[in-house]
Structure 1
């Protein structure tokens, strides 16, 4: 029987027996945590959670920063409970809205910090558990403390058909749907990734993505560990630490969003020797379209192929270009890793090769439905196929190209933002009559957020005041980078706002009009 037919615990306990000396978790300035010890760490976390009354099927949220401790905590929580990782930079109001929906038994926060998450948890009467790193132990060592003792009804490890973690869809907190991913979805993805990328115990992934996203939690953390590969977990992502890890730990691959790749390439001249001597077998790219110039620049610098992929929280990774010597097609997101893809027209009819349409998918990595939302689930599937909301085409060889997005999402460096949430906050300001949010092209982040506003008569709110107003109510990445006062909003014949015209007007007027801007150091925010 394949190892991927089991649950997480059986796989990790098997790794402890078969590859005990392979380094599982690595971090700068720390001794590596080997697979022989890794399983014992997972067991210790499970026993602590059980002592707090948390077991199989119970929900545990977290608001944790990057780092090796968060990595081990995430793996342990997905193995013995239902884990919900939240962005630690959310405001108290945003945390409160999440917690009221997901109703976890506990929230894990860093010892001595995480005030917004703590306040929200206290408001809802939710147990707060503190994660205290053990600086003397190997990478990923920590204890969980300050929880309240309780009776655990199901102290067993999760089964393959149990929910491992829940991630929210993009959008406003009140409208977001919750996506449950079961262990068997991750096991199917791991099996496909192992075969597609020829991954094994000799490989190491350099982890640079946030662990509260699917990209960081699934593809760069759980998949390599399930396969039996190592994961390097720096506490920050910035360019110096990235290249320090490349030199010190000799990773064989990394996976990142296009904005991260662009940031690395922008400073590549300062680290050309390290890049040229790197041990990367491949570089994986996702979370949005990669500029072909960045693709070529990375391949030239690191001497490794850049593999574009396509995925989403509802279906994990769906496609990827193959490794050499197989044919890679730059600009496409490759071939299916597992499952099937259909392209359909507006009537739902299947289209042939080289025709643009909406992408539908099905297979063993596709989720089974949104949590506690049968109506949304019914609307998301047709005859067993998941409706992705993305537009694309398949060529004659079955390679998929993404050509657009059905939704109005703004993709800021991999962070997906719905305009409506920002508009709702803006129009709550007493000086604003109407607001429309639109994307602004950005050379490294892909898109940033712009806002057109119509003030109340006689009012002209200062941009800095608006920025402060927004920051108190939204996570930093959602706060508009630029505000523009307009007399009226562009609308079509039916009254629908035409956001694309706002984008075009802003770009055209950037050099000739006085535009009210509030600009943050975007790359610094990304790299922090």
Structure 2
């Protein structure tokens, strides 16, 4: 029996459900129903369970994978990638998905940093497999490839085998969720079986209540990160997952699939929502089945919110949450989204998720007063176990038990949270703290601007000045000086950017997000600023 906390009772057991049971249980209840669709192919829940169990047997028998082993995954979205997650968990192994858009050298670093014993790799990523070969003990290829044995051959050889799920404890690692690495190298956030079980429950409670086996969910993001968590919640309720056939983002295909499969929910990021509702196909299909279009990863600009509500109706759900908290910090459900400004708390990312506590804290860890800006901190069952093999990062990330997100914001009296931006995005000009998001929101009110990113760049007089990178709206050709003149009187003069550059598009991460790191790198590459 574990030692008791002061004034508490020692738990008799910390054992929890192995997450692989989510698929097993759904296959028992709805075995013949469609569970996964990819293009024109589909698999029933029973077939998914049998294939995952067969691959688990192959991993154990042919490669010796067992509890605690890490298995790296370098693959675009596919059914095998999804099955492999449950196969790893069945053995008590840790699923370690990489962003498939990363370079071979970057993925090789992930293999080493995670201590991966093996690699599951798409056939089109031979260079990635070669880069990892010196680190991992085995490689499995998804698709025909000379560099490794085929996934399908392994499944066929072990089909019918069903190794018993390994007993796991609440804090046993299940998923190494690599951060996007906005500063320095990505870090592996350790997500556990107990934590993820809470996250799945919370997603179903707060993001898409009422989800059942009659629902369908469309994948509009890589399964390696937030979309994978989202689809795990679908498995728990027997809702089918729909995977687009193409590898490139195609709004017309997305809306066609919504109509064909009567899709009820989808998870994505604000920039993707923007592109979807601006595409002409949004008006060509029956989208009445949609109940929840969930967006996260960044706040949605007000102009984009209005456009999405007008196109789709009351279906928007926002959540705020880092990978380290698996998205579980705040939620803003459809009832709190409105096209009319007077009916909405403009700029909020919602209130605390069920079972989670959120505070805005000052530098000493004291709770800030309403509307006072500070760092957002969170505690609760969704908080990760820490960064793998990184005590320095863990020491910086936690204070008195609170996880420090690195995001700045404030709360109103009712507990609704408003994001100001990343602490790393804030810049100081002439001694004043400037938060880019406020400026970006204002600039997007200009009818000739489609997207904008504001960041601080060095200046010999002011220390830093604001530089705005602007993408024009279709058919528009705004002038830099005219844009700055338009801001006069609409925002405090000290916050007004000193420079504006106009680009055809902003760089995006592998998950569709616009990050200041990528914008800054592009500015350097174009010679707009010095490195």
- Structure 2-normalised TM-score? 0.72
1:265 corresponds in structure 2 to: 277
1:446: how far off?
5.7
Is the alpha carbon distance of 1:19 and 1:445 closer, same or farther for their aligned partners in structure 2, counting shifts above 3 Å?
Answer: farther
Q: CA deviation at 1:343?
A: 1.0
Aligned residue number for residue 292 of structure 1: 302
Find the partner of 1:332 among 333, 343, 348: 348
- CA deviation vs aligned residue, 1:193-240 (integer Å, no higher than 9, x gap): 222221222222111111222x2221x221221233221111433112
Please name the residue that 1:210 is paired with: 222
For the 8 Å contact 2:294–2:316, the answer to whether it is kept is: yes
Corresponding residue to 1:363 among 372, 377, 380: 380
Question: 1:128 Cα deviation (Å)?
Answer: 1.6
For 2:58 and 2:455, the matched residues in 1 are separated by: 42
Q: What residue in structure 1 maps to residue 466 of structure 2?
A: 501
Question: 2:48 matched to 1:38?
Answer: yes
Aligned twin of 1:307: 317
Pairing partner for 2:38 from 13, 23, 27: 27
Instruction: Note the aligned Cα RMSD (angstroms).
Output: 3.8
Q: In 1, distance between residues paired with 2:326 and 2:510? A: 26
Conserved? CA contact 1:342–1:359, under 8 Å: yes
**Aligned in 2, Cα 1:502/1:323: closer, same or farther, shift over 3 Å?**
closer
> What SS class does the counterpart of residue 60 from structure 1 fall into?
strand
Whole-Å separation in 2 of the counterparts to 1:174 and 1:522: 18
Displacement of 1:172 after TM fit?
Answer: 6.8
- How far apart, in 2, do the equivalents of 1:145 and 1:298 lie? 45
Given that residues 60 and 83 in structure 1 are in contact (C-alpha distance below 8 angstroms), is that contact kept between their aligned partners in structure 2? yes
Structure 2: 5+ residue stretches without partners: 1-14, 145-149, 338-342, 428-442, 472-478, 485-498, 513-531
Q: Distance in 2 between matches of 1:521 and 1:234?
A: 25
Q: Are 1:132 and 1:145, in contact at CA under 8 Å, matched by a contact in 2?
A: no
| Contact preservation (8 Å) 1:158, 1:164 | no
CA contact (8 A) 1:321 1:328 kept: no
User: Of 76, 88, 92, which aligns to 2:87?
Assistant: 76
Q: How many angstroms apart in 1 are the aligned matches of 2:35 and 2:426?
A: 36
The answer to whether the Cα contact below 8 Å between 2:190 and 2:387 also exists between their aligned partners in 1 is yes
How far the C-alpha of 1:302 sits from its partner, in A, is 2.1
Instruction: Give the TM-score normalised by the residue count of structure 1.
Output: 0.73
Q: Provide the rounded CA distance (Å) in 1 between the counterparts of 2:470 and 2:319.
A: 33
Q: What does residue 436 of structure 1 align with?
A: none
2:41 is paired with a residue whose SS is coil
Residue 58 to residue 523, structure 1, CA distance change in 2 (3 Å): closer
Task: For 2:413 and 2:142, locate their aligned partners in 1 and report how far apart those are by CA, in whole Å.
Answer: 51
Superposed counterparts of 1:350-499, under 5 Å: 350-408=367-425, 447=453, 489-491=458-460, 498=464
Deviation at 1:145, TM superposition (A): 4.9
- Aligned partner of residue 284 in structure 2, secondary structure: helix
- Once the 2 structures are TM-superposed, how far is the Cα of residue 491 of structure 1 from its aligned partner? 4.6
Distance 1:97 1:409 in 2: 30
Residue number in structure 2 paired with 1:157:
166
Report which stretch shifted further, 241-250 or 349-358. 349-358
Q: Indicate the structure whose relative CO is greater, using CA pairs within 8 Å and at least 6 residues apart.
A: 1
Residues of 2 paired with 1:75 and 1:313: CA distance? 20
Structure 1 partner of 2:366: 349
For the pair 1:283 / 2:283, whether they are aligned, the reply is no
Instruction: State yes or no: 1:56 paired with 2:67.
Output: yes
Distance 2:504 2:510 in 1: 11
**Is the Cα contact below 8 Å between 2:55 and 2:87 reproduced in 1?**
yes
Instruction: State the match for 1:86 in structure 2.
Output: 98
Contact 2:377 2:402 in 1 (8 A): yes
Asked whether the 8 Å contact 2:217–2:234 carries over to 1, the reply is yes
The 1:379–1:524 alpha-carbon spacing in structure 2 relative to 1, beyond 3 Å, is: closer
CA contact (8 A) 1:321 1:329 kept: no
Q: 1:322 to 1:224 in 2, by over 3 A?
A: same
- 1:19–1:366 Cα change, 3 Å: same
Aligned residues: 434
- Please state whether the residue corresponding to 1:83 is helix, strand or coil: strand
- Going from structure 1 to structure 2, the CA distance change for 1:53 and 1:409 (only over 3 Å counts) comes to farther
How does 1:116-135 map onto structure 2 within 5 Å? 116-124=127-135, 126-132=137-143
Q: Distance in 2 between matches of 1:508 and 1:12?
A: 54
Equivalent position SS for 1:205: strand
- Contact residue 297 and residue 320 of structure 2 kept, 8 A: yes
Bigger drift between 91-100 and 359-368 goes to 91-100
Secondary structure of 1:69's counterpart equals helix
Residue 191 (structure 1) aligned with residue 201 (structure 2): yes
Which residue of structure 2 lines up, in the alignment, with residue 110 of structure 1?
122
